A and B are shown apart, each in its own frame.
Chain A
Amino acid sequence: AQSVTQLGSHVSVSEGALVLLRCNYSSSVPPYLFWYVQYPNQGLQLLLKYTSAATLVKGINGFEAEFKKSETSFHLTKPSAHMSDAAEYFCAVSVALYSSASKIIFGSGTRLSIRP
């Protein structure tokens, strides 16, 4: 069965520091992987997606993620944190339901805090 595991429920970094949010996946087939961000009391916004093209995926707001099959990882990074990056981040994998539908299985989330 496909799943994702996010390491660390809470990550705190200083403004301007590197952001690294960890995600490992489990999948018996080539996975479709996503990172979503959720600001307080809002829905989820897609940051980036991996769909078996380039292994380094660039997203919005300066985030990127690298798909590493050998490590079954899809970690999210940003070179320099900004105060506005404080939010909950979810790693997710898409699982086919049947011919036209799929469901997203989410990790448990990582809350990112930014210190001034």
Chain B
Amino acid sequence: EDQVTQSPEALRLQEGESSSLNCSYTVSGLRGLFWYRQDPGKGPEFLFTLYSAGEEKEKERLKATLTKKESFLHITAPKPEDSATYLCAFASSNDYKLSFGAGTTVTVRA
């Protein structure tokens, strides 16, 4: 059965303290692995799409990587404005639906 699990559920960081979020997935025929950022009370904001193992993408202090079983979102020298819930999702070859993890809530203290 296709599924995705994110860890940890919550992460508290000091400003400047780099860390990584994990997204473990099991899918038959990966079409894409997606990362979103969601602020409280708002809709998810698209960050990255990764298509194949070994691929990496960066945006400001965020870097997403992909292996055959996991994706990581690395946050380098985070700032308080990086505080949000980060969601990962995948699309399988079966259809165009996305399956979402429960998210990791990141809090960055000044």
| A and B found bound together | no
Residues of B that sit less than 8 Å from A by CB: none
Residues of A that sit less than 8 Å from B by CB: none
